[in-house]
Structure 1
């Protein structure tokens, strides 16, 4: 009792006192909690029944339409124009190289000089032949002159006989005899003149032939003289690259002239060949600096650069590769490595997203919880289905539509 009294005094000092609940209050409190429990159970049951009555919303996979990724090719910077000078044995020996390595030159600059000793020996022989032909021409000319002189002498004799013939007295026996003799002479002189005309013609032909031989030999002589020393000039502006080994080795260029304009060379496989075309805009990224510049495809070869031998172990070895060239928007350093980004302007979709009905193609476009049955046109390009009509970039389509999916249906997408 004393302990209870002390506890009561302690509680009073703290400001409160715990009074036990009466029986009536405990009954009311239990009833309230019972009602709350019944309401909670009823609400849960109601929502469960409602969910069972409502149909479930179908769930599908969806993809967002976007353009295909750029094709990427490895390329190397080279001179757009390269002029190479190889050792030409027909010109003789390289006697002088007139440019130095890395020298900037302009078109028409003489870069090489040949000296041909063999031609010099030939010229000496040709000179002897030329002298003989000149003598033959002189002889033919003298012979022709002599034929004309002889013809003139015969004509003079003819004129003298004609004069005697005309002066003889045709009425006297002596005059008639003279006239007969002179007539016979005139006939002979006329025959001789006719024959001499033939001789003159032959002499003229001989002279013409001799002159032709002399002219031809003279021209050959001049050509040969030009071959003794041959100057070789560049036809383009650029930088000279000199390789002394090329002076005696015909497989190595003595001099290369690298044009100032540059080009990027690359290869494309047969699988991506259809995506490239001349005048197509591309982007170029330099590997040493990540710098990006614009470019344009200037050439795509129609013939394969290389084709592997049939029967090799790997399937890739049978792939044909084609060379193509890209003109950068600014000149780059020879030999730089780069990557060429070629845009592929295609909207690609999964084959299973396409529904074929009565020779028409459809897809289901998803937007705000429902789908729309959209007619499209697509092409199978090397196993890739490309939409040509009916869809645009950023459209979302159902990638795995079922046969019972309907236009306007509410769906969920993953």
Structure 2
């Protein structure tokens, strides 16, 4: 009986030991299996509206700018408009002093009269009378010169008197200027008479030349003088500085009775429209098309504007490009002009603006975030990891379409509701069992 009890006791102890060992092995295996399960974050594939954009900073410009650079050597006589004033195309903005041109014009008019008179004589007289006529012309020119010289002496005496009176404060600046102009005109008349006398004497010396040659030469002389007169009249007309566009005067450096400084300008802006000039990366510029919509926001303003791409530059230039470290680097960019749809008084040329061009958009398409997509560069394929109902990972190859700021369109390989792993661990592989945490529907990080 004692022997039987001892045997039973040993069997019980052995059974207990076996159970303990089995429990330890099972616990160890369970812990090992649990350690192999990876924690991942998933998102559900869903349909979204995608917008692809290209954006950068730019500056507001007027629809057209009329820049007028003032000549420091030409005195401003009168200013007819002021900054902020609206003007029409052709309106006179300022008048420049024409005194020098007026004097030259009077001289040339006298020369023209004399040249035409000589030509008329050539045409109305025969060869036999040429010498007599030439002599008479010399005599007449001599008389004209003498009269001009007497007029000059008289004008010179009056100017000296005016100069003395002006220095003493007895006459005005205008009276002094009038006396000076009279003296200049008299001097020009003397020079013109001298030229006329010289021409008439030259005609007398050449009286033996053929009548045809003399007439041709004289006609040429008349034409040259007339061309000079036309040129002077044009210069005088150009002294009326005009606007070449409807718009607003935004800069007026001219001051009456003063000579402009180097760099002084008049600027008239056509403010009927405004444009934003923005430089877009060459990588995005190929997608930009005339007519595409754009969103615009002025620096320091909460108001948003819309616009349309109206011009694309024909070449690229190296421009500064901001980086995440607030430093700058050079990047090849293309200039784009965006015409603002709804300009108002809050917009001014020169303002800084942020512009976003809508390159493409699609509505209600399957999409996932960029942070869920992996690349097999050697095969040129893209894939994602999908978690099935039993928490097992499968690898799915996909095809993509339009890429937006955070998400990309999936055209093949996934269906709505699939759960994709975002930022998958490096050691994740197909067939792994995972514990998932949901991040919502196709949330993604910025491209």
Coarse TM-score class (shorter-chain normalised): 0.5 to 0.7
Q: Structure 1 residues 142 and 86 mapped into 2: Cα distance closer, same or farther (>3 Å)?
A: same
Query: Number of paired residues?
Result: 311
Partner of 2:233: 225
Partner of 1:157: none
Once residues 394 and 291 of structure 1 are traced to their aligned partners in structure 2, the CA distance between those partners, rounded to angstroms, is 38
Partner of 2:374: 353
Once residues 56 and 266 of structure 2 are traced to their aligned partners in structure 1, the CA distance between those partners, rounded to angstroms, is 33
CA contact (8 A) 2:39 2:434 kept: yes
**Larger Cα-atom Rg:** 1
Q: Structure 1 residues 137 and 68 mapped into 2: Cα distance closer, same or farther (>3 Å)?
A: closer
Question: Deviation digits for residues 110-136 of structure 1, max 9, x if unmatched?
Answer: 222223222223223323432342243
Instruction: Give the deviation of 1:318 after TM superposition.
Output: 4.1
Q: Structure 2 matches for 1:83-98, cutoff 5 A?
A: 83-88=66-71, 92-98=74-80
Q: 1:77 aligns with which of 34, 37, 60?
A: 60
Q: Structure 1 residues 218 and 119 mapped into 2: Cα distance closer, same or farther (>3 Å)?
A: same
Deviates more, 1:75-84 or 1:384-393: 384-393
CA contact (8 A) 1:374 1:390 kept: no
SS at match of 1:81: strand
Once residues 293 and 114 of structure 1 are traced to their aligned partners in structure 2, the CA distance between those partners, rounded to angstroms, is 42
CA contact (8 A) 2:38 2:433 kept: no
Once residues 68 and 400 of structure 1 are traced to their aligned partners in structure 2, the CA distance between those partners, rounded to angstroms, is 26
Q: 1:256 aligns with which of 268, 290, 295?
A: 268
Q: 1:341 aligns with which of 331, 356, 361?
A: 356
Once residues 396 and 352 of structure 2 are traced to their aligned partners in structure 1, the CA distance between those partners, rounded to angstroms, is 46
Q: Which structure ranks higher in relative contact order (CA pairs < 8 Å, sequence separation ≥ 6)? A: 2
**What RMSD over aligned residues (CA atoms) do the two structures have, in Å?**
5.0
Partner of 2:384: 364
Q: Structure 1 residues 142 and 388 mapped into 2: Cα distance closer, same or farther (>3 Å)?
A: farther
Pair 1:122 & 2:143 matched: no
SS at match of 2:328: helix
Q: Structure 2 matches for 1:169-248, cutoff 5 A?
A: 202-229=210-237, 230-245=239-254, 248=260
Instruction: Give the deviation of 1:210 after TM superposition.
Output: 1.7
Q: Structure 1 residues 398 and 241 mapped into 2: Cα distance closer, same or farther (>3 Å)?
A: closer
Q: 1:101 aligns with which of 61, 68, 83?
A: 83
Partner of 1:304: 317
Instruction: Give the deviation of 1:224 after TM superposition.
Output: 1.4
Instruction: Give the deviation of 1:360 after TM superposition.
Output: 4.5
CA contact (8 A) 1:349 1:387 kept: no
Where do 5+ consecutive residues of structure 1 fail to align?
1-40, 148-198, 309-313
SS at match of 2:265: coil
Q: Structure 1 residues 71 and 215 mapped into 2: Cα distance closer, same or farther (>3 Å)?
A: closer
CA contact (8 A) 2:282 2:332 kept: yes
**How high is the TM-score relative to the length of structure 2?**
0.53
As a proportion of its length, which structure holds more strand? 2
Partner of 2:38: 59
Once residues 329 and 58 of structure 2 are traced to their aligned partners in structure 1, the CA distance between those partners, rounded to angstroms, is 20
Instruction: Give the deviation of 1:248 after TM superposition.
Output: 0.7
Partner of 2:296: 284
Q: 2:113 aligns with which of 131, 134, 144?
A: 131
Once residues 218 and 354 of structure 1 are traced to their aligned partners in structure 2, the CA distance between those partners, rounded to angstroms, is 81
Partner of 1:7: none
Once residues 391 and 238 of structure 1 are traced to their aligned partners in structure 2, the CA distance between those partners, rounded to angstroms, is 58
CA contact (8 A) 2:385 2:395 kept: yes
CA contact (8 A) 2:309 2:338 kept: yes
Instruction: Give the deviation of 1:73 after TM superposition.
Output: 3.2
**How high is the TM-score relative to the length of structure 1?**
0.57
